[in-house]
Amino acid sequence: MDWTRGHSIGHGSTATVSLATSIQSGDIFAVKSVELCQSEFLQREQQILSSLTSPFIVSYRGCDITRENSKVMYNLFLEYMPNGTLSNAIHAHGGRLDESLIRNYTSQVLQGLDYIHLNGLVHCDIKSSNILVGPSGAKIADFGCAKRVDQVGQIAGTPMFMAPEVARGEEQGFASDIWALGCAIIEMASGSTPWHNVNDPVSIIYRVGYSGHLPDFPCCLSEQARDLLDKCLRRDPRERWTASQLLKHPFLVGESNSHVAKQIQESNSSSNSPTSILDQCFWNSLDLSESLHNLVSVPPGREGSAGERIRGLSLLSGMPKWDWDESWTTIRGDSREERDAIMDCIGVKDDIVSCGLGEQKSYGGSEELLNFLDSNISSRIIDDFWASCKHRKVCFGNPCLSRLPLQA
């Protein structure tokens, strides 16, 4: 497909999401791009997305390789979701969503998870910033961590949303996605992360995996909503309800698809909170021709159709922020080449990661672990490293985290 890259609408630590236009049809879509030499995770996402077709999963539109500014880029084409992420929607609604919207988004994400699980896949990184919102509602995105349920070895995800068994390095199955959804429901209801009072990833992993505690349930939720949350956040994965069971929960039953779509459309159109400078007042201040030439290159003869599309999308909700953290901070890695590439991306020295697959090295606690790191790198880099991990994905290739009796 011949296409033209427009302006950036989001970024991670190595990849960028841009608006793009098809030269043949004038259709607008999103393109997620990274240098080819660092594209292993994006290629994994392409392989998974190309095998899935669901109205509750962001659509795959293709991929290609281009040379731009002396760099070879790998590009993944995706459906454009004009309202950004669910995290953006939470902020746009004043920090928390009404229970009716929570019900609608939860139902849609569960339908996406049910489809994914029926296809033998685990998403491994469900959270509000990996759920995109469009005119018809929520769709699951970012399959960079996803894997087959029977795939052993590497465990991945964001510590703040990890299930207890994942934090202990034991297993990562369908039930871990359900736990993460419960954490996302807490985000929707409260505007806060599920472990908002924990500041570093070592403490988060200990708290989730070993403390026996559960996240606080928002007091604003109804009894039915809290009951559904209870079914998601069982510490024993065998006790958690499946996606198909949760779809039959009284909290979700009774909402027709047409009613859900209407309510979400009203919510999206009524929110006037700007998400960036590229919002209504900005678009209104420019001539259409000026905005088109500055932001998106459109092939001759198609200015009207593509321009009206872009302008209409921006007037609907402002420009979305597709910010995500697609690079993984490797705590335990199976592949040295993979580990080296990722550590270079985030600016962390190679000797941070000392345990390879199969090693039985352990540390007495978070302080001892940090002292070990301090013998190799400066304390400033340690602080930056842990701060970068807090809301990032991490992966480890063997369960030796279960041997860390960390201190909170």
Q: Pick out the residues of the known binding site.
A: 32
* Angle between helix 201-210 and 379-389 (nearest 10): 50
To the query of whether residue 125 is one of the catalytic residues in this protein, the response is yes
171 Cβ neighbours under 8 A, 6+ residues apart:
165, 237
Query: Are 6 and 296 within 8 A, CB to CB?
Result: yes
Q: Please, are residues 171 and 237 in contact by the beta-carbon 8 Å criterion?
A: yes
Residue entry with tokens 């991670």? 12
Q: For residue 366, what are the β-bridge partners?
A: none
Selecting among 64, 98, 114, 125, the annotated active-site residue is 125
3-state secondary structure of 321: coil
- Tokens representing residue 408 in the block: 């909170």
Burial, 358: exposed, middle or buried (Cβ in 10 Å; 0-12, 13-18, 19+)? exposed
Helix ranges, 142-256 (H): 164-167, 174-190, 201-210, 223-232, 243-246
DSSP H or E segment with residue 303 = helix 303-317
Which residues contribute to the annotated binding site for ATP? 32
- In whole angstroms, what is the distance from residue 60 CA to residue 139 CA? 12
User: What positions carry a catalytic annotation?
Assistant: 125
